[in-house]
A and B are shown apart, each in its own frame.
Chain A
């Protein structure tokens, strides 16, 4: 039987709840500020960049979230490769999402940002189901 010498700590709900509350608060604040104090397009850009940053923040930790190794149960090297690929792909997708909302023409920002992040997510899914690059 395999024993963990460094068991990962149990994930806490505090950070996700605080993050969700911060995002809702930001949305309400931007809503309250528009249109008198803030241009609605700027408000959409700020929220888009914040959501991209959120994707980057959570995706960054994907390769670090390990489960205990079970002998003979899984291909640990492949599992690690999948996690690293997912982390990198979604971090770059999140950065692209934020960048699109920061600089792209506002009329096309929604389509472009979803396309960028969707492509990253599709690459992860393709990799996991075995039709993507192996390394």
Chain B
């Protein structure tokens, strides 16, 4: 559950989850909604996958992400989004960029 709170603490990750509520999206389509570097987006995706809130499926060089949230997790997302909660102190900053970018669109 700590991983879920950590994932939901960041507004970028919450926005990713909100976008995925409309249906599966490729990494490129998701990244187009944010003004951050690809490594940073990859790190955000990694945090969300570690919390099992999204699932990645790969076709060639394209990775498609889709939502994998329980009802309780969605309720937590809505709560965090509505009140702008920082659920875990110090986790609101973007994660450190990773060296590899496996999810290039």
The residues of A with any CB-CB pair to B shorter than 8 Å are 1-6, 8, 59-64, 66, 68-69, 71, 76-77, 80-81, 84, 87-88, 91
Q: How far is the CB of B55 from chain A (nearest CB, A)?
A: 5
Interface size bracket, B side: 20 to 34
Does B24 count as interface, using CB distance less than 8 angstroms?
yes
The residues of B with any CB-CB pair to A shorter than 8 Å are 21-24, 49, 52, 55-59, 63-64, 66-74
For the complex, what is the distance from the CA of A73 to the CA of B39, rounded to whole Å?
32
Main secondary structure on B side of the interface with A: mixed
For the complex, what is the distance from the CA of A2 to the CA of B24, rounded to whole Å?
14
Whether the Cβ atoms of B70 and A60 lie closer than 8 Å is yes
Whether the Cβ atoms of B24 and A80 lie closer than 8 Å is yes
Contacts of A66 in B (CB 8 A): 55, 66, 68
